Chains A and B, each alone.
Chain A
Amino acid sequence: MSQFLRLTVRKSTPNESMMAGPPNLREQNQAQKVPDLRRRPRLRDLTIQGFLFLCGFLSIFITFGIVYELGKESLLFFGNRQWSSTNKPLAADISAEQTVFEVGSSGTPLQGDANYRIEREIIHIDSINGTTLTVQRGFGGSPATAHRAGLTLEAELRPDLVEFFTGSEWAPHNGKFGILPLLNATLIVSGVAIVVAVPLGLATAVYLSEYASLRARNVLKPILEVLAGIPTVVYGFFALTFMTPLLRSIFGTDVVNIYNMASAGIVIGILILPFVSTVSEDALNAVPRSLREAAFGLGATRLETALRVVLPAAFSGIAAAIILAASRAIGETMVVAIASGAGPNFTFNPFEAAETMTGHIVRISGGDMSYNSVDYNSIFAVGLMLFVMTLILNVISQRIVRRFREVYE
């Protein structure tokens, strides 16, 4: 960008540099016909540079695309109106103008100051007195018409942010919009993954950076890379056909479900293990040798040096690694889609089946859905939530990495 600016500045004052020089030298140059050696703006180079800039700028478009699409469809989700039957029948025929009428006693109770629907007409209930309703007819531009006795009222459901974050039931097509079950499952699976990956990954990193011989490193590092390169769907298969039967044989088939969060969590832990160990090892390697030598000089053993000098010095880098791994675990999809079960379930028991946020997106979009359904819109709301969560974690981790680099470079 600044290249462009500099070029235009030069173009507007073509002889700037020459004028700055001593006048007699200029005359001398002109007399000797020395060629003009200043950089000339070239159309070809400018075009190429412009094209390259556009390619770089495309990434911004992609981000905007993600945010725009997720935001737009999420707004549709939150603006979506749902009707759910109350089974509350009209006690008698009503005319198009009647604003006070009776309803039957069966069905779910009605609420005052809320919208209901009879056939295609929307009514707004102002007050309820026993089974007598006082309503506004033809609400929201719908036509007020006469209705027959026995027709049931449908309650309006509209997902709102409060329900979205506090509701403990998720069934968008039935008007239950609480994301907590999905969020809870995501956090439990990621929690199990972190509990598996962090101790193993840290121990691996300490061993590789502080103890291992060059030969051992040359063998172990590629193996970890292979582990990181295996497709996640294969991990999903592994979770279902190995980890779940293993857990069931250890804890009993009546305790552990066929689909459970623990199995998915453990396998995701294995999947993110290479990230934890590689990034932590980089952080440990960035600790200057002098710190270790000083510790050895004081008589510390290798272990004491590693745990009390090197680890604390690399703490921020390791924290970044753990946060990055957590972000991966939250966004991991195939393992949970295969091994952790379908259907939201608000439970804290890791041996039960529960659907995570990513699992929900896969299940809903895997089936044939219509583009205007509330299910379709719901995956964007869930996706936005997922995007924001991982983005926050990634930004925090980058901040920490930047800070710890500043200390040692």
Chain B
Amino acid sequence: MNLLRPRRGFTETQEQLATRHSRGKLVLTVFQFATLMGVIVLVVLLLTIINNSFGYSAVENKVDPENLTVNGVPLEGQTKEQLVAALQQNVSAGLFARFEHDQPIAERDAANIYDLIQEYVISPEVVESWNFYDSLTRKDEILVLMQERYPNAELQFLSWVNWDFVRSQQSSHPEIAGVRTAILGSVWTISIAIFFSLPVGVAAAVYLQEYAADNFINRIIQTNINNLAGVPSIIYGILGLAIFVRAFAAFTSGIAFGAADPSTANGRTIISAGLTLGVLVLPLIIINAQEAIKAVPNSLREASFGIGATRWETVWSHVLPNAVAGILTGSILAVSRAIGETAPLVVIGASTFIQVDPEGPFSKFTTLPAQIYQWTVRPQGAFHNIAAAASLVLLILLLALNATAIVLRNRYSRRL
């Protein structure tokens, strides 16, 4: 770097000056390019996800749905009785008995029977899938390939993310698998995390900002919170595994409350996951809430003290109402980090495959990011498609949360 070397002498020719300026411009271009890299990467990342969420697929049906039409009425429009008949005709007696055993056919509704027919009778299988870009640019090649490799398959343009995907349950067939269980699991765990960490976090922040004198123990607490915020999330997962899943297994499995069967239940439940996430976001909530409380002007406190309010009265009726917007915004940001957390949940044992909706804090769980992870590590191509679709759902969810945070901030700050 020649330009870093000190120049000797006092005279500088026009050319030297021009060189210095042109160097400046050159390096500026480099800086601009580096800054643009962030933007480029973000765009590429989103495009990658979209690219994998849509595209042509070669779908092979075990039974053609057209063979299941009754009197010209397609499967979608049939009554429950017709659907049951179609199901009974096309699956083995043993399998039908299993459906009856899981939940009596009489109690199931038509939509449920329809799902069963989709999964076990028609059983569509994506034998190969192409991404969005290839589908647009190489359609002819794809058609040729289809003829060669899968003469029986039908070429469909699939949008992997659709309403059915959000609505249906997990399945071992990527074509009909959905993220409903995962979304519900995420909502449950996050609710428990907020329920635990928001009150505790705000209380700790109030203590540190409003009460704590500058002494040894309070300095330790403050330093400790800053350090906890930097601990890798997987360490919290290990902590959760050792404490919530194992040590408190009697409580987190629900056995102590008579809510679960002692012979099969274990501590890998929603409540363990929620508490682990709660501990994880606690330092973030404390730090954000401290910033919000710090921003409340001191004159408010002094005025309150001046008319004889106690410290707690000051905090409760002056400091907290004025800090609530900041606290909420910070908490939502902390929560949106918790929603995306995967590693600690995988460590404490997010179930790889559950098909039933979580019923309460003592159910087994999976969450949206954990589901994305499970699908991503599978080798079959179609699972990558639904992983991308689930990522899209997750990103939309996060975007909605962040938008809420911004709206809240604007609304409350106007009121002040």
- Which secondary structure dominates chain A's binding surface? helix
- Given A55-B203, A398-B226: A42 touches B310 (CB 8 Å cut-off): yes
Binary A-proximity of B210-246 (CB < 8 A = 1, otherwise 0): 0111010110110111111011111111110111001
- Which secondary structure dominates chain B's binding surface? helix
A262 sits at the interface (CB 8 A): no
A240 sits at the interface (CB 8 A): yes
Which residue of chain A lies nearest to B341 when distances are taken between CB atoms in the complex?
A231
B120 sits at the interface (CB 8 A): no
A294 sits at the interface (CB 8 A): no
A257 sits at the interface (CB 8 A): no
B264 sits at the interface (CB 8 A): no
Rounded to whole Å, the gap between the CB of B385 and the closest CB of chain A is 10
Complex Cα distance, B229 from A328, in Å, reads 11
Rounded to whole Å, the gap between the CB of A350 and the closest CB of chain B is 19
* B228 and A362 contacting across the interface, CB-CB below 8 Å: no
* B394 and A52 contacting across the interface, CB-CB below 8 Å: no
- Given A60-B224, A203-B30, A236-B373: A394 touches B230 (CB 8 Å cut-off): yes
B402 sits at the interface (CB 8 A): yes
Binary B-proximity of A1-24 (CB < 8 A = 1, otherwise 0): 111000000000000000000000
A211 sits at the interface (CB 8 A): yes
- Given A1-B215, A231-B398, A303-B28: A58 touches B200 (CB 8 Å cut-off): yes
Complex Cα distance, B337 from A328, in Å, reads 14
- Given A3-B213, A59-B221: A365 touches B232 (CB 8 Å cut-off): no
* A45 and B233 contacting across the interface, CB-CB below 8 Å: no
Complex Cα distance, B199 from A51, in Å, reads 11
A383 sits at the interface (CB 8 A): yes
Pick the contact of A204: B34, B225, B231, B373 (CB < 8 A). Answer: B34
* A334 and B373 contacting across the interface, CB-CB below 8 Å: yes
Q: Which of B359-374 contact A (CB under 8 A)?
A: 369, 372-373
Residues of B within 8 A of A247 (CB): none
- Given A207-B35, A334-B343: A57 touches B221 (CB 8 Å cut-off): yes
Which residue of chain B lies nearest to A338 when distances are taken between CB atoms in the complex?
B376
Rounded to whole Å, the gap between the CB of B281 and the closest CB of chain A is 12
Residues of A within 8 A of B147 (CB): none
Rounded to whole Å, the gap between the CB of A153 and the closest CB of chain B is 35
- Given A55-B200, A59-B283: A233 touches B369 (CB 8 Å cut-off): yes
Complex Cα distance, B23 from A128, in Å, reads 76
Complex Cα distance, B391 from A231, in Å, reads 9
Pick the contact of A231: B3, B339, B384 (CB < 8 A). Answer: B339
Complex Cα distance, B231 from A332, in Å, reads 10
Complex Cα distance, B340 from A227, in Å, reads 13
Complex Cα distance, B337 from A200, in Å, reads 24
B208 sits at the interface (CB 8 A): yes
* B204 and A55 contacting across the interface, CB-CB below 8 Å: yes
Complex Cα distance, B373 from A240, in Å, reads 11
Rounded to whole Å, the gap between the CB of A362 and the closest CB of chain B is 5
Complex Cα distance, B286 from A277, in Å, reads 24
Residues of B within 8 A of A273 (CB): 38, 41
Binary A-proximity of B185-220 (CB < 8 A = 1, otherwise 0): 000000000000001110110111001110101101
Residues of B within 8 A of A53 (CB): 207, 211
Q: Which of B1-45 contact A (CB under 8 A)?
A: 3-4, 20-21, 23-24, 27-28, 30-32, 34-35, 37-39, 41-42, 44-45
A264 sits at the interface (CB 8 A): no
Rounded to whole Å, the gap between the CB of A259 and the closest CB of chain B is 10
B387 sits at the interface (CB 8 A): yes
Complex Cα distance, B23 from A56, in Å, reads 53
7 contacts between A and B (CB under 8 A): A52-B204, A53-B211, A199-B34, A211-B31, A230-B398, A307-B4, A334-B373
Chain A contact residues, CB within 8 Å of chain B: 1-3, 42, 44-45, 48-49, 51-53, 55-60, 62-63, 65-66, 69-70, 73, 199-200, 203-204, 206-208, 211-212, 220, 223-224, 226-227, 229-238, 240-242, 270, 273-274, 277, 301-304, 307-308, 324, 327-328, 330-334, 337-338, 358, 361-362, 365-366, 371, 379-380, 383, 386-387, 390-391, 394-395, 398
